[in-house]
Amino acid sequence: MHSMTQTAVRTDPLSPELNLLINDYPRDVWDAHPNFARSTQNWLGAHQAFRQLSNICVSKTERILDKDMGAEHYGHILGRDEDSLVRNLHGQHKWEDRQFFPELASADPRFETGLDLLEKDHEVLDETLDRFTRASNRYLKLLDLDPTSAEQELGDIHIAGCQIRSLLSRHLQDEEDLIYSPYCPIKMNKVVMNEPDLKILRELQRDSDQSLDQISEQVCLSRNAVWKRIRTMEHNGVIASRVAILDAAAFDLNLTVFIQLKTASHSKDWIKRLECKCKLLPQVQGAYRMSGDLDYLLRAVVRAIQDYDRLYQELIERLEPSDVSASFVMEKIVDHTRLPI
């Protein structure tokens, strides 16, 4: 087996001057820049593909090292994915250096300092890609001639693949932080989020107990990038809280009831009394002021009809509504807390 050179991943952060560009150029500004929106969209789409391909290359190599994949099948995947990753990365670098980066520099000269740093990253990454290609080609050539010798090349392929993944994790994130342009941007509560943010939120809505490593794998971002984005969204209030959802049946809370209230009084004092009462009653899961003929709607969970009757008595004792009616849930067709993002 050939000796594989270890490549040090750059750890120097972007300079303070370049970080200022994030504030000067909020994400939604770039859509108005001539010919820039389409370039940015294509550019970030390519970034996602590179993250996915580098993860695939490493994971497939780990599978054959663990004897969980046949050599011929791995050789087919390696030949396809290695060629796609290397060829497209080289093509992306040429396009960035010749068109995309000059476009940025013409928009603001301050970009040039950061672009010099990113171009140096390209040089290091190109060297690592070359080692990855040589190791992969040796494996593919030896696969038919000498399978035992081919197997000895897997260590070099794995090392180079991990180096590429680490380099891309830092380099792509810095590019995105520097340019700070969104892929399909949306605004919520004056907070601009891009598609990677939304992917993270979908994963958290599906299972908030996932580790950073698990979310990172699903959204194809580095662990550190995922952590930063989650912290930002928590700080901005996009993530309001993370809680455990209990099974109501485990506590014999088998009845869900919607309580409709009508009142002759719509004073602030009455609304305040309703709010205070609902907060004191743990059975009440939601209280809503409604449009139309219905004034207020409460959602509650109880064990039995007798428990609902006690809840009813509690409500009318203090609030004195003009009319109360209730509808019991017979079957839950859809019941979840995920937002459609």
CATH of the domain at 295: 3.30.70.920
Q: What 3-state class would DSSP assign to 290?
A: coil
Taking residues 201-210, what's their average pLDDT? 92
In a shared domain, residues 82 and 58: yes
Q: What is the largest CA-CA distance in the chain?
A: 90
Domain stop point among 136, 165, 182: 182
Tell me whether strands 284-289 and 186-188 are parallel, antiparallel or unpaired: unpaired
Let me know if residue 10 belongs to a domain.
no
Average pLDDT over residues 98-104: 70
Whether residue 266 sits in one domain with residue 208: no
**Residue 336 covered by a domain:** no
Across the range 248-264, mean pLDDT stands at 92
% of the chain residues with pLDDT over 70: 78
Q: Is the pLDDT of residue 251 over 70?
A: yes
The reply to whether 226 and 262 lie within a common domain is: no
Band (pLDDT 50/70/90 cuts) for residue 189 is very low
CB distance 170 to 122 below 8 Å: no
Claim to verify: residue 49 and residue 160 sit in the same structural domain = yes
Going by pLDDT thresholds of 50, 70 and 90, the confidence category of residue 317 is confident
Sheet of strand 255-262: strand arrangement:
284-289, 296-302, 255-262, 323-328
Per-residue pLDDT band for 2 (boundaries 50, 70, 90) equals: very low
Mean of the pLDDT values across residues 203-220? 90
Q: Above 70 in pLDDT, residue 221?
A: yes
Mean pLDDT computed over 267-286: 90
Q: Are residues 160 and 178 in the same domain?
A: yes
pLDDT at 17 over 50: no
- Answer whether 77's CB lies under 8 Å from 60's CB: yes
Q: Can you give the pLDDT at residue 104?
A: 64
Q: Are residues 47 and 104 in the same domain?
A: yes
In the structure, what pLDDT confidence band is assigned to residue 27 with cuts at 50, 70 and 90?
very low
- pLDDT band at residue 89 using 50, 70 and 90 as cut-offs: confident
Tokens read off for 104: 């940025």
What is the pLDDT of the chain when averaged over all its residues? 79
- In this predicted structure, what is the pLDDT of residue 183? 33
Residue 224's pLDDT is: 83
Please, which residues have CB within 8 angstroms of residue 120's CB and are 6 or more apart in sequence? Answer: none
Q: What is the DSSP letter of 109?
A: T
For the residues 316-337, what does the mean pLDDT come to?
88
Q: Are 319 and 270 in contact (CB under 8 A)?
A: yes
Is residue 119 domain-shared with residue 39, that is, in the same domain? yes
**Count of the separate structural domains present in the chain:** 3
Residue 341 lies in a domain: no
Q: Of 230, 211, 165, 186, nearest to 9 (Cα)? A: 165
Report the Cα 35 to chain-centroid distance in Å.
Answer: 27
Over range 317-341, report the average pLDDT: 88
In this structure, the strands spanning 323-328 and 191-193 are unpaired
> Around 292, how many Cα atoms within 13 Å sit in the side-chain half-sphere?
7
Enumerate the H helices of 247-304 as residue ranges.
268-280
Q: What is the pTM of this model?
A: 0.45
Cβ partners under 8 Å of residue 4, min gap 6: 131, 135, 155, 156, 159, 160
pLDDT recorded at residue 181: 40
Judge if 23 and 67 occupy the same domain. Answer: yes
202, 217, 241 - which closes a domain: 241
For residue 337, give the nearest of 159, 205, 153 by alpha carbon: 205
Residue 256 has pLDDT above 80, yes or no: yes
pLDDT confidence tier of residue 179, bands split at 50, 70 and 90? low
Nearest residue to 9 via CA among 136, 173, 213: 173
| Model pLDDT, residue 39 | 57
Read off the pLDDT of each residue in 289-306 and give the average, rounded to a whole number: 90
Structural domain of residue 281, as residue ranges?
A: 248-328
Would you say 121 and 106 are in contact if contact means Cβ atoms under 8 Å apart? no
Contact 259, 326 (CB under 8 A): yes
Q: For residue 106, what pLDDT is reported?
A: 64
> Average pLDDT, stretch 84-97?
80
pLDDT band at 268; cut points 50, 70, 90: confident
Indicate whether 1 belongs to any domain. Answer: no
Q: Is the same domain home to 173 and 231?
A: no
CB 139 within 8 A of CB 78: yes
Helix/strand/coil (H/E/C) assignment for every residue in 4-72: CCCCCCCCCCCCHHHHHHHHHCCHHHHHHCCCHHHHHHHHHHHHHHHHHHHHHHHHHHHHHHCCCCCHH
